[in-house]
């Protein structure tokens, strides 16, 4: 492999620093500057990854990145004590399928834990009238909860991390219309057309838009693509830098299978089930894509999980 040119290396470094220093973005706080500790965590995640030698590190780092500072046990028990929520049947229709082929997940996370957490989340938001956005249970929320239950030492910690994540990082992904998901899919098409017009044109020639082939990957932030250990590494990156980057991570997966897609007369056969996730190359490609996108398109990408669009 030929060495990178100095200009390409400089561009990659610029992309790297752009991510390290980008402000926090969420539905609650727009553009807050980040502290040095968060910058160090971001650098570690990008350069080294979270060490696997200490199993307590990932849950601690996720709580720092999500700014989950309090775990009020009594509050969670209060929600649980209210019993089944009004959409319990809808929850149970999904929970038994959650990461059903992952033996490690099934051994660590029982279905009743997932049901309880989702019930509690619905109750948490049941009486909240002050927020512009309300929350109930929607499709895909079971899969978004799964990594938290698997990673956190307790169900209660998983609940508060999940709630903070949903309510602040990607609230538009869990509205009844899945508005954020559909916007993410449209942005995926636009970003792919910009970074690889040839691949985009090939897929479109087969009537394939992101809505058709990438819906599960965008809806679940790639948590539906095994193996789970790689999903957790990808989520380290998304929690550190923003869930908007999942769109670029899906594009990265397309680029990793580009040759096969371009050679196929029926690329949907390949896209029906994405290849096993490999977090390191996916993140590496996503970081380079950050530098390539126009500033206005990237800004729209950043804001799509949480910023409500004003109707024209």
pLDDT in tens, the chain (312 residues): 444 455 555 555 666 677 777 877 776 655 566 788 888 999 999 999 999 999 999 999 999 999 999 999 999 999 999 999 999 999 999 999 999 999 999 999 999 999 999 999 999 998 775 556 789 999 999 999 999 999 999 999 999 999 999 999 999 999 999 999 999 999 999 999 999 999 999 999 999 999 999 999 999 999 999 999 999 999 999 999 999 999 999 999 999 999 999 999 999 999 999 999 999 999 999 999 999 999 999 999 999 999 988 654
Contact 126, 111 (CB under 8 A): no
Strands 24-25 vs 30-32: parallel, antiparallel or unpaired: antiparallel
Query: Taken in order 137, 141, 146, 152, is the CA torsion positive or negative?
Result: negative
pTM of the model: 0.92
Q: How far apart are CA 223 and CA 192, in angstroms?
A: 21
Partners of 25 in beta bridges: 30
* 97 backbone dihedrals φ, ψ, rounded to 5°: -90, -5
The CB-side HSE value for 187 (13 A sphere, CA atoms) comes to 26
What per-residue confidence (pLDDT) applies to 310? 64
Q: How far apart are CA 217 and CA 274, in angstroms?
A: 9
Helices (H), the chain: 6-21, 36-47, 57-66, 73-81, 88-95, 103-108, 111-126, 141-151, 155-164, 179-195, 197-205, 210-213, 215-219, 228-241, 245-256, 258-263, 268-271, 279-292, 295-303
Q: How far apart are CA 160 and CA 145, in angstroms?
A: 11
Using CA atoms, how far residue 283 sits from 210, 228, 304, in Å, is 20, 16, 20
Q: How far apart are CA 80 and CA 98, in angstroms?
A: 21
Q: How far apart are CA 256 and CA 253, in angstroms?
A: 5
- Count CB-CB contacts under 10 A for residue 49: 14
Contact 152, 162 (CB under 8 A): no
What per-residue confidence (pLDDT) applies to 25? 72
What per-residue confidence (pLDDT) applies to 1? 42
| Preceding peptide of 227 cis, ω within 30° | yes
| Helix or strand run (H / E) with residue 31 | strand 30-32
Q: How far apart are CA 203 and CA 205, in angstroms?
A: 5
Cβ partners under 8 Å of residue 29, min gap 6: 168
Task: Map residue 217 onto helix, strand or coil.
Answer: helix
């Amino acid at each position: 492999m030929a060495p990178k040119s100095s200009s390409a290396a400089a561009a990659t470094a610029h992309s790297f620093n752009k991510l390290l220093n980008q402000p926090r973005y969420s539905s609650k706080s727009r553009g807050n500057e980040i502290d040095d500790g968060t910058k160090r965590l971001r650098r570690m995640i990008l350069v080294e990854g979270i060490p696997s030698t200490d199993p307590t590190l990932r849950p601690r780092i996720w709580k720092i990145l999500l700014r989950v500072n309090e775990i009020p046990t009594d509050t969670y028990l209060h929600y649980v004590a209210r019993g089944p929520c009004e959409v319990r049947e809808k929850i149970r229709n999904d929970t038994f399928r959650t990461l059903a082929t992952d033996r490690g997940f099934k051994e660590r996370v029982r279905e009743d834990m997932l049901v309880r957490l989702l019930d509690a989340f619905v109750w948490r938001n049941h009486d909240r009238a002050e927020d512009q956005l309300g929350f109930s249970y929607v499709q895909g929320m079971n899969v978004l909860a799964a990594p938290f239950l698997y990673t956190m030492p307790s169900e209660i910690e998983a609940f508060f991390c999940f709630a903070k994540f949903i309510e602040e990082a990607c609230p538009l992904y869990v509205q009844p219309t899945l508005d954020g998901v559909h916007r993410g899919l449209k942005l995926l098409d636009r970003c792919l057309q910009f970074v690889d017009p040839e691949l985009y044109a090939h897929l479109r020639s087969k009537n394939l838009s992101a809505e058709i082939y990438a819906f599960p990957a965008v809806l679940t932030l790639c948590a539906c693509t095994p193996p789970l250990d790689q999903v957790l590494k990808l989520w380290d990156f998304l929690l550190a830098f923003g869930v908007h980057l999942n769109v670029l991570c899906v594009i990265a997966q397309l680029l990793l299978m580009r040759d096969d897609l371009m050679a196929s007369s029926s690329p949907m056969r390949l896209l029906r089930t994405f290849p096993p996730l490999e977090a390191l190359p996916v993140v590496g490609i996503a970081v380079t894509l950050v530098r390539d996108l126009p500033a206005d398109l990237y800004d729209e990408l950043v804001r799509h999980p949480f910023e409500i669009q004003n109707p024209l």
